[in-house]
A and B are shown apart, each in its own frame.
Chain A
Amino acid sequence: MSDPSKLHVLYGPFLYGQVKSLVDQAHQRKSEIPAEHASDVQSALAELEKALAKLQHHAK
Chain B
Amino acid sequence: MSVASDTPRPNRYVTASDRAAYRPVHVVWEITLACDLKCGHCGSRAGSKRTGELTTDECLQIVADLKALGTREISLIGGEAYLRRDFAQIIAAISAAGIDCTMQSGGRNLNDERLRAAKDAGLKGLGISIDGMADWHDELRGVRGSFDAGISALRRARELGLTTGVNTTISKRSLEQLDDLLDVLIDTGIKAWVMGMTVPMGRASERWKMLIEPYRMREAMPKFAALRRRAVRHGIELQLANNVGYFGPYERELRGDGTGDIYFQGCTAGQNAMGIEADGTIKGCPSLPTSVYGGGKARDGLDVIDIWNETSQLAFTRDGEGAKSLWGFCGSCYYAGVCKAGCTWMADAILQRAGNNPYCHHRAESLERQGLRETLRQVESAPGISFDRGLFEIVVESEDGRELGVVTRDGRETGVVARDLTPRDPAADRFKLDVCHGCSRDVRAGTATCPFCGADVETERLAYEGAMDEVRHALQVLEERLAASAAAACTAPVHQLP
- Same complex: yes
CB pair B229–A55 under 8 Å, yes or no, is no
Residues of the B chain whose Cβ atoms lie less than 8 Å from the Cβ of A3: 233
Contact residue among B253, B259, B467, B485 (Cβ-Cβ distance under 8 Å from A9): B253
Within residues 74 to 115 of chain B, which ones have a CB less than 8 A from any CB in chain A? none
Is B489 within 8 A of A12, CB to CB? Answer: no
Residues of A within 8 A of B482 (CB): 22, 25-26, 29, 41
Taking a contact as CB atoms closer than 8 A, the residue among A11, A48, A58 that contacts B260 in the complex is A11
Whether B498 contacts A42 by the Cβ 8 Å rule is yes
Q: A34-B488, A55-B471 are in contact. Are A12 and B258 (CB under 8 A)?
A: yes
Q: Closest residue to A46 on the B side, CB-wise?
A: B474
Q: How far is the CA of A17 from the CA of B225 in the complex (A)?
A: 18
Contact with A44, one of B256, B467, B481 (Cβ below 8 angstroms): B481
Q: Are A54 and B467 in contact, with the CB atoms below 8 A?
A: yes
Distance in angstroms from A8 CB to nearest chain B CB is 6
Binary B-proximity of A13-53 (CB < 8 A = 1, otherwise 0): 11111110111011101111111111011101101101110
How far is A38 from B463 in the complex, measured between Cα atoms in Å? 32
A54 to chain B, nearest CB (A): 5
Which B residues are in CB contact (< 8 Å) with A17?
A: 7
**A37 near B471: Cβ-Cβ < 8 Å:** no
Inter-chain contact B1/A21, CB cutoff 8 Å: yes
**Are B478 and A45 within 8 A (Cβ)?**
yes
Cα–Cα distance between A35 and B486 once the two chains are bound (Å): 12
Known: A40-B481, A44-B477, A55-B471. A6 touches B492 (CB 8 A): no
Kindly state the interface size class of chain B when it binds its partner: 35 or more
Q: Contact check: which of A8, A34, A47 meets B489 at CB < 8 Å?
A: A34
Q: Is B431 positioned at the interface, with any CB of A under 8 Å from its CB? A: no
Q: Is the CB of B495 within 8 A of A34?
A: yes
Task: Write the nearest CB–CB distance from B8 to chain A, whole angstroms.
Answer: 10
Residues of A within 8 Å of B488, CB to CB, are 34, 36-37
Q: Is the CB of A32 within 8 A of B494?
A: yes
Which residues of chain A have C-beta atoms less than 8 A from B262's C-beta? 12
B3 within 8 A of A: yes
Minimum CB–CB distance for A11 against chain B, Å? 5
Q: Which residues of B contact A25 (CB under 8 A)?
A: 482
Rounded to whole angstroms, the CA-CA distance of A18 and B6 in the bound complex is 10
Interchain CB contact under 8 A, A40 and B7? no
Which chain B positions have C-beta within 8 A of A19?
471, 475
Q: Are A51 and B467 in contact (CB under 8 A)?
A: yes
Contact A55 B233 (CB under 8 A): no
Residue of A nearest to B7 (CB): A14
What's the Cα separation between A18 and B476 when bound, in Å?
10
Distance A43 CA – B249 CA, assembled complex (angstroms): 35
B207 to chain A, nearest CB (A): 34
> A-facing mask of B1-31, CB < 8 A → 1, else 0?
1010111000000000000000000000000
Chain B residues near A47 (CB-CB < 8 A): 474, 477-478
- Does B176 belong to the interface (CB within 8 Å)? no
Say whether B467 contacts A33, CB under 8 Å.
Answer: no
- Assess A35 versus B257: contact at CB under 8 Å? Given A14-B7, A25-B482, A48-B474: no
Interchain CA distance A17-B498 in the complex, whole Å: 23
User: Contact partner of B485 among A8, A41, A51, CB < 8 A?
Assistant: A41
For this complex, 11 residue pairs linking A to B, each with C-beta atoms less than 8 Å apart, are A8-B228, A12-B253, A13-B232, A14-B6, A18-B5, A18-B475, A31-B494, A34-B491, A44-B474, A47-B474, A48-B478
The 7 closest A-B pairs by CB, nearest first: A12-B258, A34-B492, A37-B485, A35-B495, A14-B258, A38-B495, A30-B497
Additional pairs, 18, CB under 8 Å, beyond known A29-B485, A44-B481 = A6-B229, A13-B7, A13-B237, A13-B257, A14-B259, A18-B1, A22-B479, A22-B482, A29-B486, A35-B492, A36-B492, A47-B478, A48-B474, A48-B477, A55-B464, A55-B467, A55-B470, A58-B464
